[in-house]
């Protein structure tokens, strides 16, 4: 599943700067103070698909925001997953 790539592509369409995990160590302390970690999960069954993307403050570990998309009107599970990805992308764009 290329879901991780699709989520990072959706993040790239916002005003956020997306970096890789290994790049964190090259950031200044000021940059780390503004850093959000993005974590995602996906759930799918025969009825629907749901994708959640959670944003956590890097320094404190506290959750800052959560976006999710769910879809159940596709012709199959693949269509539902695509629909959920569109919905979560829209939520991320609204937030950022």
pLDDT per residue as tens digits for the range 30-63: 999 999 999 999 999 888 899 999 999 999 999 9
H/E element, 31: helix 29-33
Q: Any idea what the Cα angle at residue 73 is, between residues 67 and 75, rounded to 5°?
A: 125
Place 1 in a pLDDT band, splitting at 50, 70 and 90: low
- CA–CA distance from 88 to each of 13, 34, 57, 91 (Å)? 13, 23, 20, 5
From 84, 58, 54, select the one nearest 66 (Cα to Cα).
Answer: 54
Radius of gyration of the chain (CA): 15
């Amino acid at each position: 599943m290329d879901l991780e790539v699709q989520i990072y592509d959706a993040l790239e369409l916002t005003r956020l700067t997306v970096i890789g995990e290994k790049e964190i160590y090259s950031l200044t302390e000021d940059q780390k103070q503004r850093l959000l970690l993005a974590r995602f999960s996906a759930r799918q069954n025969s009825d629907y698909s749901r994708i959640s993307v959670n944003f956590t403050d890097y320094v404190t570990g506290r959750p800052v925001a959560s976006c999710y998309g769910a879809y159940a009107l596709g012709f199959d599970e693949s269509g539902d997953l695509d629909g959920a990805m569109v919905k979560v992308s829209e939520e991320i764009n609204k937030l950022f």
